[in-house]
Amino acid sequence: MQPLANSRSVALHQKAEQVLAMGVSSGMRRRATPIPLYFERGAGPYFYTADGRKLLDYTLGWGPLIVGNNHPRLNAAIAAQLARSYTFGAQQELELQVATAMTKAVPGLEQVIFSNTGSEAVQAAIRLARATTGRPLVIKFEGHYHGWMNNVLVSYHPTGGAANQAQPACGGQPEPEYSQTLVLPWNELAALETALEAYRGQVAGVITEPLLANSGCCEPAPGYLEGVLKLCREHGAVSIFDEVITGFRLALGGAREYYGLTPDLSVYGKALGGGFSFAAVGGRAEMFDCLRDGHTIHAGTYNGNSICLAAAQATLEILSEPGVYDAMNQHGQRLRDTLQSAASECDLELLTTGAGTVFSLHFSLSAPPRNYRETLSASAELRQQFQLAMLEAGVYLLPDGRWYVGATHDAAALDLASTAIRSSFSTIASF
Ligand SMILES: Cc1ncc(COP(=O)(O)O)c(C=O)c1O
């Protein structure tokens, strides 16, 4: 690999820091190691750096690129739409088509509303929960990420304190803006039951990532999600799956299909737009009565804009073809098998957790973590060494050990990844 000191990425990053606060456009990207790389183009599962390096990408742009970059069918759909309109700020048949495709694909989804980002759509879901129930409180779980807004960016990745103490994640978050958010440890039904009892009649909704993708891809314990939905029903609270990551990823019908569960509301983003800024909330028709009767509102200049709708429509068409999820899931499983066997050949203790096309690596952990706190015992140092070695070997990964697999990850990608995995483990085992 070209020494980073002389790379265009370093030069561009230094220049960017003069004019772009942070030097990056999302705070999450500051964690990129060794530096935030600059890219010029992407094609299929490959990213091309500003230095002309071709990297096999398993970040998928933090999840959205489920059909890769530069997909001919997505390009054609968007090019055709460009000639028709960018946006109307008014109605078009495409809205109806995408809403129909979503409700057809996802079990229990009768109606949807459109938004632009996951963060916004989460806020819409919370507003719906409050407007429907007339209650103020929202329960979220430690380690879960629901966007960067003040009321949900609490106890995301705390380094201390109690697991049921709402902790702001950054400066500029005044306490009154998250004082209506209760935080609980995840995967513990008793904790939820106790909180719903203690705040009886006050909890509007419970929001959870169905698979804890943002903190080590922890899986829900058997019966846990069912228990959450049951407790919500018993206490009249709206159950919300934040499917911004799991939606159209764990299956075409997302976590609802994968786990066979139907929460009151689900929030979608990322994969739904195939790399374009598109998000949605969906659920039973009655969950949107409070919008229909004008009790509350949902708005946005760019909601249902033409280009993002066209991207979502094409993405859903591609994902709906037979065999797409089987192939992606198989690729994910093969990667995990290779990671496990190659690690054990090098005497490295490694666990992978997750489902299908999204999984995380945990070094030096003896049992799969059940929640955010348990992921903290894994070796962040080994994870980082591995990620750097993989970059050296031509594979681009997220800094937190999470892998995303997409529809364009083929046999050639698997070969390349497997070779890189083996050489990277040998490298870090020799330290
Ligand atoms: C589960 C989950 N919810 C919400 C969001 C926020 O989505 P966005 O970044 O599109 O605002 C994210 C982003 O990573 C997410 O992973």
Sign of the alpha-carbon torsion through 307, 308, 310, 314: positive
347 is catalytic: no
The answer to whether residues 58 and 89 belong to one domain is: no
Residue 220 is given by DSSP the state P
Q: How far apart are CA 409 and CA 31, in angstroms?
A: 25
Using the 3D structure, point to which of 302, 319, 336 is the last residue of a domain.
319
**Annotated catalytic residue within 46, 58, 145, 372:** 145
Cα separation of 418 and 431, whole Å? 21
CATH of the domain at 358: 3.90.1150.10
Task: Looking at the CA of residue 243, tell me the nearest atom of ligand 1.
Answer: 1
For residues 32 and 126, membership in a common domain is answered with no
Question: Quick one: 24 and 89 in the same domain?
Answer: no
In degrees rounded to 5, what are phi and psi of residue 293?
Answer: -85, 5
User: Is there an atom of ligand 1 within 6 Å of 243 CB?
Assistant: no
Probe target for ligand 1 pocket from 26, 140, 146, with the most ligand atoms within 8 Å of CB: 146
Q: What is the pTM assigned to this prediction?
A: 0.97
Judge if 266 and 385 occupy the same domain. no
User: Are 95 and 278 in contact, with CB atoms under 8 Å apart?
Assistant: no
Q: Is residue 63's pLDDT more than 90?
A: yes
The CA distances from residue 337 to 21, 341, 351, 352, 400, in Å, are 41, 6, 10, 9, 20
Catalytic residue among 46, 270, 400, 404: 270
**Both 106 and 41 in a single domain?**
no
Please give the tally of structural domains in the chain: 2
| Domain boundary pick from 300, 319, 338 | 319
Expressed as residue numbers, the domain containing 262 is 72-319
Q: Model confidence over 168-183: pLDDT tens digits?
A: 999 999 999 999 999 9
State whether 77 and 101 are in the same domain.
Answer: yes
Q: What percent of the chain has pLDDT over 90?
A: 94
DSSP string, 343-385: HHHTT--EEEEEETTEEEEEET-SS--SSHHHHTTS-HHHHHH
14 with 162, same domain? no
Paired strand residues for 362: 351
For position 236, which CATH number holds? 3.40.640.10
pLDDT at 150 over 60: yes
Average of pLDDT values for 197-222? 98
Report the residue among 144, 154, 245 best suited for mutation to probe ligand 1: largest number of ligand atoms under 8 A from its CB.
Answer: 245
- Protein residue whose Cα sits closest to atom 4 of ligand 1: 146
Q: Is the domain of 347 the same as that of 409?
A: yes
Q: Of 319, 354, 389, which marks where a domain is finished?
A: 319
228 and 93 housed in the same domain: yes
Helices (H), 299-351: 306-319, 324-345
pLDDT in tens, 237-265: 999 999 999 999 999 999 999 999 999 99
Q: Are 184 and 142 in contact (CB under 8 A)?
A: yes
**pLDDT tens for each residue of 348-386:** 999 999 999 999 999 999 999 999 999 999 999 999 999
Shared-domain flag, residues 168 and 208: yes
**Is 337 noted as a catalytic residue in this protein?**
no
Quick check: CB of 117 below 6 Å from ligand 1? yes
78 and 66 share one domain: no
Do 250 and 342 sit in the same domain of this protein? no
Taking the centre of ligand 1 as the mean of its atom positions, its distance from the CA of residue 124, in whole angstroms, is 13
Region for residue 186 given its phi and psi (left: phi exceeds 0; alpha: psi -120 to 50; beta: otherwise): beta
* Ligand 1 pocket residue status of 242, Cβ below 6 Å: yes
